[in-house]
Structure 1
């Protein structure tokens, strides 16, 4: 059984016209970067992996995660985490509430859940932020909370949909390093889609160019 994320003869087409064809394996703790201009199929590829592919597209081949065929599973059964360009924090919840939303159901009891969240906030350099309104956070702080919320859900793979593109240059490098370090520490295979060559260079892994 191959650990990591495997795209086995993955083919996506629309109205009979091929959009992309990909064969790739991303081992645990490594990053595969997929680059290409708008319309080349980068976001469509991520949608296929997380299970939200528009019915207008036709998919063939297999998507394997740690040897498990997830191609036809519903999104919640795939255990793939994703970070988008926008943090998408819930505005009606506190920072702690946003993190609590992602906790696995196996963590029971208010004290145990609070302890897990406090440890997570400490881990990303935001101790004491449990009760903060997400709207009061800086862009970098929002990005860190979004990352930790995704990690608390204990995904088996990490998908990155240009999550650094809205950050300024200095913050971009800092958050990028944080994301890659956390993925390596947890041995998560990472698929990064971007049009930025610096992101690809920082990822340090193989690069596939689309379109």
Structure 2
């Protein structure tokens, strides 16, 4: 279980509070108005944003003071975090060995995970030679290789067209089902939330509330969400 116990984040004149629980293996969307603190919430969980008070725990273990690399989390941002000068193979290998010194067995693991996301034979290409959807698959391959129990997505597919986005969401859902990963995904698209998340956290007015059943929240939105949705 992921727990945020009376967490407060302060950034200049902005304050965000959160007190919530997410069961292991659940898929949760994070929605709310622009600037409400959705990415800040994910950053606090992943360790990129310091918290002023409270604590973040995973399965009862306090990870509040842990650096991002020590947390059981893989994070995927909108730009996919790919290095343009590295090959697809090397970009994925970074998830396993930052030094890129991989053994023959590890090379087999990398090639296997590339095949799993539909990129067999793409290892020698550079990111610029790939479509947006293929770049997203490279980033997901790295996530798969890391095999962390928490997967945090900050609008990684926002720039994709509807068909490609649906394809990537389906792939994420498949990965979560196969690995029992706990998913947290920021999105501005309520269709994404309905497609992949059984529950949703609403971030508005300085608070992260929920999680609520996704269909219930979107079918009967509170005033803050109703104003955002229009």
TM-score (ref. length: structure 1) = 0.88
Picking from 131, 136, 143, the partner of 2:136 is 143
1:10 paired to 2:7: yes
Post-superposition Cα deviations, 1:92-144, rounded to whole Å, max 9, x if no partner, equal 11111111111158xx8631111001101110111111111221011111001
Q: Which residue of 2 aligns with 1:201?
A: 194
Judging changes above 3 Å, is the alpha-carbon distance between structure 1 residues 94 and 128 closer, same or farther for their aligned structure 2 residues?
same
Picking from 4, 10, 34, the partner of 1:38 is 34
Post-superposition Cα deviations, 1:1-42, rounded to whole Å, max 9, x if no partner, equal xxx322222222345x66322222222221122211221011
Structure with the bigger RCO (C-alpha within 8 Å, sep 6+) is 1
Runs of 4+ in 1 over 3 A off after TM superposition: none
Picking from 70, 73, 81, the partner of 2:66 is 73
Work out whether residues 113 and 144 of structure 2, in 8 Å CA contact, stay in contact via their aligned partners in 1: no
Picking from 92, 99, 109, the partner of 2:92 is 99
TM-score (ref. length: structure 2) = 0.81
Tell me the SS of whatever aligns to 1:13: strand
Q: CA RMSD in A?
A: 2.0
Q: Distance in 2 between matches of 1:48 and 1:20?
A: 10
Work out whether residues 79 and 157 of structure 1, in 8 Å CA contact, stay in contact via their aligned partners in 2: yes
Q: Distance in 2 between matches of 1:14 and 1:45?
A: 12
Q: Which residue of 2 aligns with 1:49?
A: 45
Tell me the SS of whatever aligns to 1:20: strand
Structure 2 gap segments, 5+ residues each: 205-230
